[in-house]
Structure 1
């Protein structure tokens, strides 16, 4: 055999692996894989469930390369379907159950999805709703065994709205997820016996990343218990890790008596974290991290300890990042396969394999990445460029503001003027009850507060309270939805 053929053969062998789930079942069979409402499911048991589900899907006709839409909130069934799709080569295609039925139907039609599973009965046409058995009592048969497969074949789709708001279907393979998880673990240690809260939905990349991180080291995925406050679940389930958005962090820190002694690390939502929240974390001696990431890169790209300057840490292993004309480009082992379209998988890369993120950024003097905002968020006011994220970071320096979104409002003189949506104790009488006089007083207070932080033309002319009806489900804020809810 020639040297080149030998290398190709060795590479093909390395590509063939059983999934991390089944590997964990072999190395740590009694270790808890999933905690579900206080019930422990071992890796051996979960492996049997997934193998049985894979056989069910195969008998039904779900085959390699076929998308299986899963329309549900996080639950044990969704976890099993992800790993079963990985096994049989089907495409795990999670969809938010909060999407309007017409939007779900549009996704079914545009991607020609032949099968779907949902907790609820859905009247979708052109696709067959599956009834599956997820019995915990399944027993292994002599025929059941994990089979090695090519980890570079497509495994899942995650919908990402991008700048247009129209969902793009980002396709990943298992190799992408493994590379991302291994790089993330280099900074935030995760070992067998640790327990990570699945607080982010599986239809977002942050949720799916938790499954892959835990399976690789036989750690435990903990499903949130709606009957328990987060503080109580931390104590009951011995949580060590959690990915949280600012609202969840606020609720977590509200109970000053709550014991958080088991927490090793918190991965917090992107963007600047308010000074008040940082002080509370320091007082509790809780290690927290912020990161810069995206669906197309399988989750985290840079990560670092949470700092008041809003920086996003240093580049993780197996990623590459460059900044051209102030805009970030990325590539590496984590980079997705492309967008799933009716023409197949389309790769929006340049000739050298770089992906244009549309995120503006720079490296600071400490080698940390600082995100300056989205190219497509910038607007012009009176001939001046306005970058909303710069103003938001300045607002969150106020000790009584936890979150802020800045957006343009039409103006006859300047074309557009900045306005802001804010959340925090600065809204003294509660979001729903602030009077126009109280809002005017807040505007006056913030005008003085921002005077030495940003130029006059960048300061918001109007403030809106954060819509309480919005529940954030991703580490990234849905800006357009919050603006719509706050101003309607």
Structure 2
């Protein structure tokens, strides 16, 4: 077959009658270009996975589940959730655990029932988890033993709502229902409970860090997630038509997915793998040597990683001894700092490797822009063109669109933009307008429609793929009785992309050390939010005429303490 250019491949796949043809649909009263052939909902996606019954679906340490076994477990759990716990369409079900097979099963059980899956950040403290449970108001929570232990230490009890706990010894259950009582094995002959699910019914609530100190729950619909699935398939087909995806062999493709499932990158990779019949390999926690060993052992064809993970895989001493010859596609997301990986990636995997690097947020259900085929290796400084159906605007402070090459705020419109924030009309009104999502990020489009992200208008630090909002950390630091004022900024870090740094000014006459500041932060915040660098200064923070701290100046001072 003759290889096409990226632009020609994109056009062919979206042409009338082609698999990724677009059609205008009215969503919430507004016209949106959607995939004509997209599944109607995630239940339909799950049912389509029956064609892979004999394939491996999940590999986790010594455990291995086929698609048939996964399907039986989902059907059993869905039946029990409805009959035993009264979970019905629209009810929220919290999922808080590491990347375990039980998460995958519980997620699909929610989609089958039309329930709303609410993954919570597994790194949060007990207090943070408890707050989110109160905000989501779920009908049920499914947790692993570690998350349940944190909640109990924070004063939470199973009397507050039904709780199902997995991977815990009996003594740790404390009134919760053990998972193995509901899913004792992977055999079940019953049918899926009946449910009618519309494309714009809610399917997930994913919490994203908030600028006001509390996370916001982005409400993702069935259409949002099915559009993401179509975008993933589109990217794969572009790779095939441009010759950067090798022909399928008789071996089942396999995905190494270390992305946390509570982030849209990990969640979308998880359900995309299922929809495509891939064997999904899970890790309890990231370890570079373990990841390399598993890639060789399981003949991993697809990687889903943040730049930090990929850089470590390429640079760890002895990495060349691992056989990564099966790897044909790499998805890079979750953090900035990918441009310098183009050379090492091509050097290790060859120039025909398909790299899916893009730009997206929780509110855009992962990628709003996405490289296709070889375009990342050719233009690594950009994040690719908009995905099919997605429109990107660059808007100036005057509200007018900026021409190519001129920077402004990035606005996104399309079938993957979420419905808004859960139970938060003020934040929804501030971020969404006439179907457009205002990202708060600064970027520019070139003449070919490729987006380059230049800066972040929002006060966010991206540490190893995790978003840390400065205002949230500042609010916690200022609760310390000896802290008069605090400012939190991100500092460049080659490994993690950015690290969290805090500058604090003590109350007059108070003694305060950096260790005391960090210890206070640890008591209230997940570990990834705790400042790695703390500077205690005697002079007030630099501020502008309106009283806002000048963080650019602080970053410059921290980067060069002795100018």
TM-score by length of 1: 0.72
Could you list the per-position Cα deviations for residues 346-370 of structure 1 after superposition, in whole angstroms to 9, with x for gaps in the alignment?
A: 5656553111111111013553210
Q: Which runs of 5+ in 2 are unaligned?
A: 1-24, 27-35, 165-176, 238-244, 397-407, 475-486, 500-524, 536-563
Which of residues 331, 335, 345 in structure 1 aligns to 2:413?
331
SS of equivalent to 2:337 = coil
* Residue of structure 1 in register with 2:283 after alignment: 224
* Residue of structure 2 in register with 1:40 after alignment: 64
Q: CA deviation at 1:112?
A: 2.2
* Residue of structure 1 in register with 2:302 after alignment: 241
* Residue of structure 1 in register with 2:387 after alignment: 316
Q: CA deviation at 1:32?
A: 2.2
Q: CA deviation at 1:238?
A: 1.6
* Residue of structure 1 in register with 2:162 after alignment: 128
SS of equivalent to 2:220 = strand
Which residues of 2 match residues 434-449 of structure 1 at below 5 A? none
Q: Distance in 1 between matches of 2:448 and 2:370?
A: 13
Q: Distance in 2 between matches of 1:418 and 1:215?
A: 39
Q: Distance in 1 between matches of 2:70 and 2:437?
A: 36
Q: Distance in 2 between matches of 1:224 and 1:364?
A: 39
Which of residues 229, 253, 256 in structure 2 aligns to 1:197?
256
Q: Distance in 1 between matches of 2:204 and 2:305?
A: 23
Which residues of 2 match residues 408-427 of structure 1 at below 5 A? 420-423=491-494
Could you list the per-position Cα deviations for residues 133-192 of structure 1 after superposition, in whole angstroms to 9, with x for gaps in the alignment?
A: 333432213x44776532421111111014334200011122211101211322235989
* Residue of structure 2 in register with 1:51 after alignment: 75
Q: CA deviation at 1:218?
A: 2.1
* Residue of structure 2 in register with 1:261 after alignment: 325
Could you list the per-position Cα deviations for residues 220-262 of structure 1 after superposition, in whole angstroms to 9, with x for gaps in the alignment?
A: 2221266861111011112111121233113312212221111
SS of equivalent to 2:111 = helix
Asked if structure 1 preserves the Cα contact closer than 8 Å seen for 2:41 and 2:222, the reply is no
Asked if structure 1 preserves the Cα contact closer than 8 Å seen for 2:332 and 2:356, the reply is yes
* Residue of structure 2 in register with 1:465 after alignment: none
Q: Distance in 2 between matches of 1:96 and 1:104?
A: 8
Which residues of 2 match residues 198-213 of structure 1 at below 5 A? 198-213=257-272
SS of equivalent to 1:92 = strand
* Residue of structure 1 in register with 2:557 after alignment: none
Asked if structure 1 preserves the Cα contact closer than 8 Å seen for 2:56 and 2:65, the reply is yes
Query: In the alignment, is residue 353 of structure 1 matched against residue 399 of structure 2?
Result: no
Q: What value does the CA root-mean-square deviation take over the aligned residues?
A: 4.0
Q: CA deviation at 1:33?
A: 2.0
Which residues of 2 match residues 66-215 of structure 1 at below 5 A? 66-120=91-145, 121=148, 122-123=151-152, 124-125=156-157, 126-130=160-164, 131=177, 132=179, 133-141=182-190, 143-144=191-192, 149-189=197-237, 193-215=252-274
Asked if structure 1 preserves the Cα contact closer than 8 Å seen for 2:42 and 2:111, the reply is no
Q: Distance in 2 between matches of 1:94 and 1:417?
A: 27
SS of equivalent to 1:487 = strand
Q: Please identify runs of 4+ aligned residues in structure 1 that moved more than 6 A.
A: 342-345, 416-419
Q: CA deviation at 1:14?
A: 7.8
Q: Distance in 2 between matches of 1:421 and 1:317?
A: 33
SS of equivalent to 2:236 = coil
Q: 1:249 to 1:263 in 2, by over 3 A?
A: same
Q: Distance in 2 between matches of 1:134 and 1:345?
A: 39
* Residue of structure 2 in register with 1:62 after alignment: 87
* Residue of structure 2 in register with 1:376 after alignment: 458
Q: CA deviation at 1:62?
A: 1.9
Which of residues 336, 351, 363 in structure 2 aligns to 1:271?
336
Q: Distance in 1 between matches of 2:488 and 2:64?
A: 54
Asked if structure 2 preserves the Cα contact closer than 8 Å seen for 1:19 and 1:148, the reply is no
SS of equivalent to 1:336 = coil
Asked if structure 2 preserves the Cα contact closer than 8 Å seen for 1:16 and 1:148, the reply is no
Q: Distance in 2 between matches of 1:148 and 1:285?
A: 45
SS of equivalent to 1:234 = helix
SS of equivalent to 1:239 = coil
Query: In the alignment, is residue 251 of structure 1 matched against residue 312 of structure 2?
Result: yes
Asked if structure 1 preserves the Cα contact closer than 8 Å seen for 2:97 and 2:143, the reply is yes
Q: Distance in 1 between matches of 2:297 and 2:254?
A: 12
Q: Distance in 2 between matches of 1:32 and 1:345?
A: 42
Asked if structure 1 preserves the Cα contact closer than 8 Å seen for 2:42 and 2:226, the reply is no
